[in-house]
Amino acid sequence: MPQMERPKSLTETVLEHLRGRIVSGDLELGASLSERQLAEELDVSKTPVRESLVQLRSEGLVTILPQRGAYVFSLSAREVIEMCEFRLAIESAALDLAVTRNRSALVAEIAAIVERMAGVRARGDTRAYLQLDTEFHEAFFRHCGNAYLKDSYGRYAGKIAALRTHLAVKPMHTQLSFEEHIALRDVFAEGSRAEIYAILEAHIGRTRETYSESVEDIAAADAIKDAG
């Protein structure tokens, strides 16, 4: 007998709303998050807002400082590098399994996503493109057949997507991203594991190369650069 879908709790609804605003860039890196203001804006009590912020902290999307409050995460260049190292390690592992176990299904889904990417790029819809970018990389885990890898990536998927949004304003970033996704699509179909790894390493490595290790806060550094 099919199970009935459980209605979302108020906390789950608030959580999805706040996560979406952070990932999309509607809430900027380092922005202050007032429980009172968020509760008033969403017409809820402070409790689901507070519970949501705690969950977002566990996902790395929110920082909570005692006596100071909650803030949207911000990253030093060192943390960006560590995130890229994490992505390369875990995405490579998932891809290796997906190519071994479900290559045809992976190739079909990736091809469909790239086709949709082309469509939204033609419309100039950057937000939709970024959502598809996230789907592209999550496909590795949908087809790898390993729940531990999938869950480990899922814990930080929102933070990875939020950084992706942040980088989308960089000159040529989205164009280069799209070209790399096409290259990955093509190599998934017939390429060797070494060829797949090389393109994925270059794709993820471009994020790493964007920031010097001396940068302590990428949001602040970008604001200074943009003002100049």
Burial of 159 by CB count in 10 Å (0-12 exposed, 13-18 middle, 19+ buried)?
buried
pTM for the predicted model, two decimal places: 0.83
Q: Where in the chain is the domain with CATH 1.10.10.10?
A: 10-72
The alpha carbon torsion through 192, 203, 27, 76 (nearest 10 deg) reads 120
Could you say which DSSP state residue 62 is in?
E
pLDDT at 224: 46
**Mean pLDDT split into 10-residue runs, the chain, 228 residues:** 62 92 90 93 92 93 89 86 94 95 96 97 93 96 97 93 85 87 93 92 86 62 51
According to CATH, where is 1.20.120.530 located in the chain? 77-227
For residue 72, the cross-strand partners are 62
> Which residue, among 21, 28, 29, 31, has the nearest Cα to 74 in the 3D structure?
29
Multiple choice CATH, 10-72, 1.50.10.150, 1.10.10.10, 3.40.50.1820, 3.40.1160.10: 1.10.10.10
CA-CA distance, 202 to 181, in Å (whole number)? Answer: 11
Contacts of 29 (CB under 8 A, 6+ apart): 72, 73, 74, 75, 162, 166, 218, 219
Is the domain defined by 77-227 classed in CATH 1.10.287.610?
A: no
Q: How far is CA 95 from the centre of its chain?
A: 17
Residues facing 69 on adjacent strands:
65
Give the whole-angstrom CA distance, residue 134 versus residue 157.
Answer: 8
User: For residue 216, what pLDDT is reported?
Assistant: 65
pLDDT at residue 227 in the model: 47
